[in-house]
Every structure is written in C-alpha cells, then in structure tokens.
C-alpha cells in the first residue's frame, strides 16, 4: 500500500490513524466483554464504529491480532505502572496501594473491562507465551512487594502468593460486574480496593 | 422406570444411588472446570467414571440438569453456612470471616472449583432465575454483615457493595488458579483469605 506508506509521513494523519486504531481496540474490547471473544465477529466490531469490516483491515489483519493488540497495550501500561510505583513511592504498602488503584483504573476507566482478565487461549501460541511472560512478571513484582512489606514490618506474616491471588482475583473479577454507567467512579473504586486489599495485609489487621 | 422406583425403597440402594449421583456431579464439575461447560460432553463425564454415557441417564436427563444440580447443591450448602454463621458467631467480623473460610472450602475442597463461580447463561431461563435469586440472597447477607460491622464499630467506613465485590471476586477467582494437588491446603487458604479480606475492613486497617 504505497498510499498508506505515504500517509504515515504526515504527523496529522499518523495521529488520526493512531486514534482510529484506539477506537477499534475499544470497540473490540466492549464487544468481547459483552458477547465473549469467540462469539464476536469483525462485523460486530465494525458495526459498533459505523463502518464496514473492510475498513478494519487497514489496521488489523484478523480478530486475533486485535485481541493481541489489546493485550499488548494493557501489559505495556502495567509495565509503565510498575516503574512509576518504584519511582514515586518508597514503602511496599504505598507501592502496592498505588498498583492496586492503577490496575483498577486500567480495568474500569481506560479499557472498559481489561483484557488482562481475559483468557489467553484464543491467542496464537507465540502470542500466548509473550502475554503470559509479561503477566508473570507483574505477579512476581506484586509478590516481591508483599515479601518486602513483611520484611520491613509494614505487613504481618503472610504467604505472598496467596495474598497476591486474592488481590488479583478481586481486581480481575471487576470485569464481571462493573458497568461504566454505574454510580461508582473508577477512582473511588480504586481507592476502596486499595484500602481493603492492602489494608488487609498490614500488621494492624486482625 | 418401575425397577428404579422399587430400588429407592431400600435404604442401602438409596445410599448407593446417592453416592453415585455425587460422583457424577464431581466428575462433571472437574470436566466443566478443565474443558469449559460448552465443550464438555456427557461422554467426557461418563469416561471419567469409567462407564458408558447411558449409565448417566439413570440419574440425569441431560447436561443442563447436571449443571443445575451442581448449582443447587452448592447454593444449598451456602444457605446452610449462612445459618451456621448466625448460630455460631455474634460479631459481624467473626461471621464474615467464617463465611469467607467456608466459601473458600466449598470452592476448593468439596467441589474442586465451585459452580458458584460459573456463568449461569448455560442454564434454562427458569433455572437461571432460581440460581440468581439464591446468589443474590447470599450477596445481600454479606453486605448486611459489612454494614452491621460498620455500625458496631468493628469495621471502618466503607461501601458494603464494593467490599463484598472484592471479597467474592477474590474467592471466585480461586477456580482459575487453584489446583487440588498443589502445596496449599484448603483450610490454610480459607484462613489466609479470611484474615486478608475481613482484616482489610477493620477499623485498624490503613
């Protein structure tokens, strides 16, 4: 496509393409959440944007590459947040609370039900391996923070693995009940979850 | 089936039938968890028991009635636990901690991944309505306990709905990662979750 190649030279058009790509990913996520990945067709995703599905092919070759892009974007966001937690906060409890708040925000506000909570079996084996490796890195980082908080005395004696499963379970489950049009704002939910899930690890908790 | 009707008159045979029925439900749950409900066939369930699928028809007419029986049994158990929590404990925190521990046990030990965490859309509309009504009753009871704990000063100021979503999310997510052959025993997991999820609501939590 020489026309497309030329188009990417103009910053204005590049920006427009980026926005369009984001819209497709959001529309796809909404469809995946409502109908499930397997039941969703490219026609469904296109119809939500008021375009014909051929318009999607300028951005994605098939449904799997859309799902993969969704996963990649949210995992890149999570990697950025892990760095921000380390840069902005010192203690394990503060870092963990920040990550819980931000993960809740990613789940609710930005992505309308995050692909982080999706099954990965629909991805190609290579994409699955990549996504799982990045998820594992995030889980290890959370466990490391819990262990660090125990060492510093911020947290009581707990099994980091179990604690992190409880935290991620609570957050991942959000995709099953959260409605963006509901009464609860994403920041309120994030703060409530951080207080509950990090508070439950502190030395003062029962 | 006059033969079956006659058989139910003998307590020994009735007990044998009950045990067989339980085995079918457990085998079905394991298959549903591993392959997903839709991908599981009656042949899969029968094969795990080393019988032909026609043997299942003495107990269940189709796959949906097996799923419905799984739901009913675990909801009956939850109803029993709500009563036991009220009978055995006084404070909201103790009652809630008991329910978390026992719900974790139901999820792990007894049912190898509870149908409480399953989607209900595979049930007939009438069965769906019944299951959802019982689930709602359980959720309302948990919210009531959280509100009661706030009133008594055991818990800090929180939104009961959000707190209960976090608790149920953490517990329901167990079905996604728990392996009965793993190193963590069900009682250990229950106690850890109760301390974490109820502890995070107490007035002392950060």
What's A206's DSSP letter?
-
pLDDT of residue B26: 87
Put simply, the answer to whether B169 touches A165 (Cβ < 8 Å) is: no
Q: How far is A130 from chain B (nearest CA, A)?
A: 19
Query: How open is the CA angle A154-A155-A156, to the nearest 5 degrees?
Result: 130
pLDDT of residue A106: 83
Put simply, the answer to whether A192 touches B168 (Cβ < 8 Å) is: no
Q: Is the pLDDT of residue B62 over 80?
A: yes
The interface predicted TM-score (ipTM) is 0.79
With 0-12 / 13-18 / 19 or more C-beta atoms within 10 angstroms meaning exposed / middle / buried, residue A43 is: exposed
Which is nearest to A170 in space by CA: A151, A189, A188? A189
pLDDT digits (tens, 9 = 90+) for A111-140: 555 555 566 788 899 999 998 898 899 999
Chain B residue with CA closest to A172: the answer is B169
Q: Is the pLDDT of residue B141 over 90?
A: yes
pLDDT of residue B98: 97
pLDDT of residue B167: 97
Q: Is the pLDDT of residue B128 over 50?
A: yes
Q: Is the pLDDT of residue B17 over 60?
A: yes
Does residue B59 sit in helix, strand or coil?
Answer: coil
| CATH T-level topology, domain B63-206 | Tetracycline Repressor; domain 2 (1.10.357)
Q: In chain A, what are the domain boundaries? A: 1-61, 69-206
pLDDT less than 50: residues of chain A: 1-3
CB-CB: which of B174, B184, B201 is closest to A196?
Answer: B201
Can you identify the CATH homologous superfamily of domain A1-61? Homeodomain-like (1.10.10.60)
pLDDT of residue A1: 45
Question: Which pLDDT band holds residue B2 (cuts at 50, 70, 90)?
Answer: very low
- Collect all residues of chain B within an 8 Å Cβ-Cβ radius of residue A163: 192, 196
**Integer Cα distance of B32 and B6 in angstroms:** 33
Q: What CATH number was assigned to the domain covering residues A69-206?
A: 1.10.357.10
Which is nearest to A30 in space by CA: A45, A10, A18, A9? A45
Overall average pLDDT of the B106-114 stretch: 64
Question: Which pLDDT band holds residue B1 (cuts at 50, 70, 90)?
Answer: very low
pLDDT digits (tens, 9 = 90+) for B35-46: 878 889 999 999
Overall average pLDDT of the B112-120 stretch: 58
With 0-12 / 13-18 / 19 or more C-beta atoms within 10 angstroms meaning exposed / middle / buried, residue A15 is: exposed
- Collect all residues of chain A within an 8 Å Cβ-Cβ radius of residue B168: 173
Chain B residue with CA closest to A104: the answer is B166
Q: Is the pLDDT of residue B47 over 80?
A: yes
- The whole-angstrom distance between residue A77's C-alpha and the CA centroid of its chain comes to 7
Phi and psi (nearest 5°) for B204? Answer: -85, -20
């Amino acid at each position: 496509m020489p026309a497309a190649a030329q188009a990417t030279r103009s910053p204005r058009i590049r920006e427009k393409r980026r926005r369009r790509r984001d819209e497709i990913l959001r529309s796809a996520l909404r469809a995946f959440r409502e109908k499930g990945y397997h039941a969703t067709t490219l026609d469904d995703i296109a119809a939500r944007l008021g375009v014909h599905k051929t318009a999607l092919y300028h951005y994605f070759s098939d449904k799997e590459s859309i799902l993969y892009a969704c996963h990649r974007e949210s995992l890149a966001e999570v990697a950025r947040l892990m760095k921000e937690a380390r840069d902005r906060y010192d203690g394990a409890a503060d870092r963990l609370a920040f990550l819980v708040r931000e993960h809740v925000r990613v789940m609710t506000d930005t992505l309308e039900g995050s692909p982080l909570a999706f099954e990965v079996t629909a991805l190609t084996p290579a994409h699955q391996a990549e996504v799982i490796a990045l998820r594992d890195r995030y889980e290890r980082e959370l466990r490391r923070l819990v262990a660090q908080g125990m060492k510093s005395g911020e947290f009581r004696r707990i099994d980091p693995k179990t604690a992190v499963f409880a935290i991620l379970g609570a957050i991942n489950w959000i995709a099953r009940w959260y409605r963006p049009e509901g009464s609860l704002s994403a920041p309120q939910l994030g703060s409530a979850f951080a207080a509950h899930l990090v508070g439950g690890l502190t030395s003062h908790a029962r």
